Amino acid sequence: MSLPDPSFLLARAPVVPVVTVPSVTAGVKLAQALVEGGLPLIEVTLRTPVALEAMAAIAAEVPDAIVGAGTVTRPELIQKSIDAGARFLVSPGCPPALAEALAEAPVPVMPGCATATEAMTLHAMGFPVLKLFPAESAGGVALIKSLAGPLPDLRFCPTGGIGPANVGSYLAQPNILAVGGSWVAPGEAVTMGDWEQIAALAKAASKLHRAAFPL
């Protein structure tokens, strides 16, 4: 069985900003800055009360943004996210009931895994691209390289602990399509409304080279 494939979305940018929005207005401004910097894919974490509303506002007001929902930890968040305009879904981990519900979603999903067993379970369910989370503490680039041998068909979008210092080594792996991270939208810059800084960080990230998608 094959499920909707996130690869065509991830082809758009090497970095998926993982953003936590304090308000709807900040979410829209943040999305505009990220798009301006060249990062159209935006994962809005469902960690703040305004997250769904902010996602809907981004979908309506920032037409070049491709907004998705992150921190999808419970099945009931799937339809709510899609109703709010999410075009992809991301989960930090994947207990069986959540994995089964995500496998029914009509949009591409990147379910989270951190071990070979979790990756194999999700792959057997038909998910073609997995989030590796928390990437750095779970084993980082070494883990991704190790998984490439026995699981050559799997592709990853690692997230957690990735930043300017190590992003290049992740994107050099052919089984990594893109990485996720919050470093392009630092909380302080969001709070201060420093959209120029965020656009500049996004611009630098958008130019990163990926082994999986030769430019």
Ligand X SMILES: O=C(O)C(=O)C[C@H](O)[C@H](O)COP(=O)(O)O
The residue annotated as part of the active site, out of 29, 118, 131, 136, is: 131
**What whole-number distance in Å separates Cα of residue 5 and Cα of residue 83?**
20
**What whole-number distance in Å separates Cα of residue 214 and Cα of residue 109?**
23
The residue (of 173 and 182) whose beta carbon lies closer to ligand X is 182
Measure CA of the first residue to CA of the last residue in the chain; give whole Å.
30
| Residue 45 makes contact with ligand X by CB under 6 A | yes
The residue (of 85 and 181) whose beta carbon lies closer to ligand X is 181
Radius of gyration of the CA atoms of the chain, in A: 16
- Shortest separation between residue 80's beta carbon and ligand X, angstroms: 15
| Residue 180 makes contact with ligand X by CB under 6 A | yes
Which residue of 48, 81, 159, 173 would you call a contact of ligand X, by CB under 6 A? 159
Length of the chain: 215
**Cβ distance 39 to 15 under 8 Å?**
yes
Which residue of 19, 62, 67, 71 would you call a contact of ligand X, by CB under 6 A? 71
Q: Residue 192 corresponds to which amino acid?
A: M
The residue whose two tokens read 């929902």 is 69
| Residue 111 makes contact with ligand X by CB under 6 A | no
Of 147, 145, 149, 109, which Cα lies nearest the Cα of 125?
109
Q: Read out DSSP for 109-166?
A: EE-EE-SHHHHHHHHHTT-SEEEETTHHHHTHHHHHHHHHTT-TT-EEEEBSS--TTT
131 carries an active-site annotation: yes
| Residue 28 makes contact with ligand X by CB under 6 A | no
| Residue 70 makes contact with ligand X by CB under 6 A | yes
The residue annotated as part of the active site, out of 43, 76, 145, 196, is: 43
Of 178, 113, 102, 98, which Cα lies nearest the Cα of 151?
113
136 carries an active-site annotation: no
| Residue 48 makes contact with ligand X by CB under 6 A | no
Which residue of 14, 92, 128, 158 would you call a contact of ligand X, by CB under 6 A? 92
- Shortest separation between residue 47's beta carbon and ligand X, angstroms: 6
| Residue 160 makes contact with ligand X by CB under 6 A | yes
Q: Which of the ranges 114-122, 150-158, 174-182, 202-210 carries the binding residues for ligand X, by CB under 6 A?
A: 174-182
Chain contacts with ligand X (rule: CB under 6 A): 18, 45, 70-71, 90, 92, 133, 159-162, 180-183
* Residues labelled as active-site residues: 43, 131
